[in-house]
Amino acid sequence: MHSFLKKFSYLILILLFLTQCGLYKKTDARKVPVNAKDRVQKNLEEGRRIKFGNLGNPRSGEFEFATSNEMWRATIDILDFMPFDNADYGGGVIITDWYKADASNDSIKIMVQFLSNEIRADGLKVSVYKKVCPNENTINCKTQIDNTNKIGPELKLAILKKAAELKLITTEKEVEEYRKANKGKPRAMDVGKGER
């Protein structure tokens, strides 16, 4: 009985993991073609696919995912005027160093947390920290989250816009490459025509 409960618990944990990490998503059956070849064609044209790496490629051990993530690239592009204190792709966070924009003793630090790889407003959290120092001496400074500053929402909007632009460019390139690679080949819908 104890062995059965243990196996059942593991099964429940695995199912919870799969549903929480986004591997299982609900879809509208009316929008999905019935034929498997048609589904593959549609997904490739929309830029959606599953890649299992470059098996057999001598460079397959390289970690290149960060360069293909539009949210990450957009954040790097938008915040390139500030020095980074920490940029951890695996942890999903970018933290800038303290940045002083004017002659005052106040400076800001920006933290961007990636909650999702999808380009959406709730997939990104931008926090702005403010450090106020009474004089040039940095010993008696006060640090707090600056919720009144408009920098956070403006940065978030700029990152989302840039990420959407990058995603559009990437999708257009993938569709064009697919069309060039499959030029002259019969499409799944054309197979079997004229064989009656």
Give the integer Cα–Cα distance in Å for 159 and 164. 9
pLDDT at residue 113 in the model: 92
Do the Cβ atoms of 92 and 113 come closer than 8 Å?
A: yes
pLDDT at residue 60 in the model: 40
Kindly state the average pLDDT of the residues 49-61: 44
Predicted confidence (pLDDT) at residue 50 exceeds the cutoff of 90: no
Predicted confidence (pLDDT) at residue 29 exceeds the cutoff of 60: no
Q: In what order do the strands lie in the sheet with 84-88?
A: 84-88, 93-96, 107-114, 124-132, 142-145
pLDDT above 90: percentage of residues in the chain: 20
Q: CATH number for the 69-173 domain, one of 1.10.10, 2.60.40, 3.30.530, 3.40.50?
A: 3.30.530
Query: pLDDT tier at 59 (50, 70, 90 boundaries)?
Result: very low
Do the Cβ atoms of 109 and 98 come closer than 8 Å?
A: yes
Domains of the chain, residue spans: 69-173
Least confident interval from 42-56, 99-113, 146-160: 42-56
Do the Cβ atoms of 159 and 141 come closer than 8 Å?
A: no
pLDDT in tens, 83-127: 899 888 888 899 999 888 777 778 889 999 988 878 888 889 999
